[in-house]
């Protein structure tokens, strides 16, 4: 009886260790090189918490939803030259999400292949409010980029996104603009 109990406990411990290791691989960034920097509010004219919120609110109000990665319902907007997705900061396995949980922006430039289809995707750095809410955290997985390059790339796509939001807002049309119109 004692031998069976020891074998059962050993199997249980082994299974627990395996599960812990398996879940550890699912944690974003676990064991992954991450380039990161924080831009304090006011230190960059474009990369501000207010502009982050403006882009986020625009995508939530005007954008569409599309699958991305393992998520089935990411809000996004196709800005000129790239798509910007909203992603929750925590692991999400489907179901309804509160809009406040989407606290990460990331942009993907989809290039055209010579045959007319979509070519390789170029990822821009991800942006989210820092833990204090007084700045933006800019980061990129699997990267050793200089923090200034991250800031430059994020500022580039924020500038284009904000200009497009102004254009969409100021065009004076009633109703929701069509994301498809940005592809033409």
Q: Along the 184 residues of the chain, how does pLDDT read in single tens digits?
A: 655 655 555 554 444 433 333 333 334 445 567 888 999 999 999 999 999 999 999 999 999 888 766 566 788 899 988 899 988 766 555 556 667 778 899 888 877 666 666 666 677 899 999 989 899 999 988 878 888 999 999 999 999 999 999 998 887 544 455 555 554 4
- CA separation for the pair 93, 23 (Å, rounded): 13
**Domain annotation covers residue 26:** no
| Residue 3 within a domain | no
Give Cα 4 to chain centroid, integer Å: 49
Residue 2 lies inside a defined structural domain of this protein: no
What pLDDT is recorded for position 50? 96
Contact of 78 with 182, CB cutoff 8 Å: yes
Distance between CA atoms of residues 42 and 51, nearest Å: 11
DSSP-based three-state secondary structure for 102: strand
Domain annotation covers residue 120 = yes
The pLDDT value recorded for residue 12 is 47
Do 97 and 90 touch, CB atoms closer than 8 A? Answer: no
Residue 101 within a domain: yes
DSSP secondary structure code for residue 125 in this structure: P
Q: Is residue 14 part of a domain?
A: no
Which residues span the domain enclosing 122?
Answer: 33-183
pLDDT of residue 6: 59
pTM of the prediction?
0.71
Residue 138 lies in a domain: yes
For 47, the token pair is 């990369």
The domain tally of the chain equals 1
CB contact at 8 A, 75 and 65: yes
């Amino acid at each position: 009886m004692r031998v069976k109990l020891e074998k059962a406990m050993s199997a249980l411990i082994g299974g627990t260790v395996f599960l812990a290791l398996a879940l550890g691989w699912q944690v974003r960034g676990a064991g992954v090189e991450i380039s990161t920097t924080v831009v304090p509010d006011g230190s960059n004219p474009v990369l501000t918490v207010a502009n982050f919120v403006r882009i986020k609110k625009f995508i939530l109000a005007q954008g569409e939803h599309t699958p991305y990665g393992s998520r089935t319902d990411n809000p996004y907007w196709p800005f000129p030259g790239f798509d910007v997705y909203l992603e929750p900061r925590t692991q999400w396995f489907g179901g309804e999400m509160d809009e406040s949980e989407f606290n990460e922006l990331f942009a993907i430039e989809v290039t055209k292949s010579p045959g007319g289809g979509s070519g390789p995707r170029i990822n821009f750095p991800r942006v989210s409010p820092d833990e204090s809410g007084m700045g933006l955290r800019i980061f990129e997985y699997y990267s050793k980029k200089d923090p200034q390059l991250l800031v430059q790339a994020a500022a580039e796509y924020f500038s284009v996104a904000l200009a497009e939001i102004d254009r969409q807002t100021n065009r004076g049309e009633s109703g929701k603009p069509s994301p498809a119109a940005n592809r033409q």
